[in-house]
Amino acid sequence: MSQYLILIYTDEAQWANTTPEDAAQLTKEHMDFGERHAGVMRGGNALQGTNTATSVRPDAAGSFAVTDGPFAETKEALGGYYLIEAADLDQALAVARDVPMRFGGVEVRPIWEVM
């Protein structure tokens, strides 16, 4: 079995306009997703918005530049993830297709086990 990270991307502007009822429904959909896929689930979390992000980059002086904001400015930002264990990419994609994703999409990447 291999591990895969399902990265959930979302349009934060659309999320900001979500009603409390719709947000509660989406949370329920994610909880239901977790229950349906409990056998392969190894972890996962939602991330706070990009307005809470801090980026760290090496600078030319051999030190580091620390700036407020996400690493990259994009329309869709990384909003959360699930870590799953699957027999192969096909199984990981089947799980990914079931992720509630109203305002964006997901990316599936295999974990590169180096240790």
Kindly indicate the confidence band of residue 81, based on its pLDDT and cuts at 50, 70 and 90: very high
pLDDT digits (tens, 9 = 90+) for 7-66: 999 999 998 899 999 999 999 999 999 999 999 999 999 999 999 999 999 999 999 999
Query: Taking 80 as the threshold, does the pLDDT of residue 115 lie above it?
Result: no
Q: What is the DSSP string of 1-55?
A: -EEEEEEEEEEHHHHHT--HHHHHHHHHHHHHHHHHTTTTEEEEEE---GGG-EE
pLDDT band of 114, cuts 50, 70, 90: confident
Residue 70 has pLDDT above 90, yes or no: no
The two tokens of residue 54 are: 């801090």
What are the sequence ranges of the domains in the chain? 2-104
Q: Provide mean pLDDT across the span 73-88.
A: 94
| pLDDT higher at 74 or 115 | 74
Q: What is the CATH code of the structural domain delimited by 2-104?
A: 3.30.70.1060
Q: Which residue's structure tokens are 């994610």?
A: 30
